[in-house]
Amino acid sequence: MEQTFIMIKPDGVQRGLIGEIICRFEKKGFTLKGLKLMSVERAFAEKHYEDLSAKPFFGGLVEYIISGPVVAMVWEGKGVVATGRKLIGATNPLASEPGTIRGDFAIDIGRNVIHGSDSVASASKEIALWFPDGTVNWQSTVH
Ligand code: CMP
């Protein structure tokens, strides 16, 4: 079954949005397979965003991700990578539709609350990075 990596960024944690975000993924019907609250080191954040290392905002992005705890999660379900991105909304919160997480809770691209893998290949890479010991093996009986 398809899985995706979702991270609630430091602004999402500090603003008390953890429950709201988990609620949206649960209500949609996805299954939570891994969850941890953690602070990440600079080198780890740089590894997670290594594909963006040439971007002018890379330094600021890394500072933001290490500025406070994040919630790392693995969600599973049919089409969870693409549909998870729909629940999250466009990267720039000003372009995100109302009803999406970023559309409802953010206005700044540099403080956009949440990250979701952009492809099945990225999801598998990101899950291996963030959950090196694996995830919880259970199946929801709802589906
Ligand atoms: P995310 O979905 O985590 O993927 C890459 C991140 O880079 C993105 O969300 C934003 O947090 C950040 N990002 C992308 N474009 C910009 C930008 N123009 N300025 C600042 N941050 C950006």
85 marked among binding-site residues:
yes
61 Cβ closer than 6 Å to some ligand 1 atom: yes
**pLDDT in the model for residue 141:** 80
Q: CA-CA distance, 62 to 90, in Å (whole number)?
A: 20
* pLDDT above 90 (res 65): yes
Find the 54 Cα to ligand 1 centroid distance in Å.
13
Instruction: Place 140 in a pLDDT band, splitting at 50, 70 and 90.
Output: confident
Q: Point out the catalytic residue in the list 34, 115, 117, 123.
A: 115
106 Cβ closer than 6 Å to some ligand 1 atom: no
Instruction: Place 143 in a pLDDT band, splitting at 50, 70 and 90.
Output: low
Question: Counting atoms of ligand 1 from 1, which one is nearest the CA of 64?
Answer: 11
58 marked among binding-site residues:
no
Average pLDDT over residues 59-83: 98
pTM (2 d.p.): 0.97
Find the 23 Cα to ligand 1 centroid distance in Å.
24
CA distances from residue 13 to 9, 27, 64, 91, 132 in whole angstroms, order as listed:
6, 20, 12, 18, 23
Residue 143 designated active-site? no
Average pLDDT over residues 77-95: 97
Average pLDDT over residues 66-79: 98
115 Cβ closer than 6 Å to some ligand 1 atom: yes
Question: Residue 100 corresponds to which amino acid?
Answer: T
Residues 6+ apart with CB under 8 A from 39: 66, 68, 69, 70
What rounded mean pLDDT belongs to the chain? Answer: 97
Task: Determine how many CB atoms are found less than 10 A away from the CB of residue 91.
Answer: 13
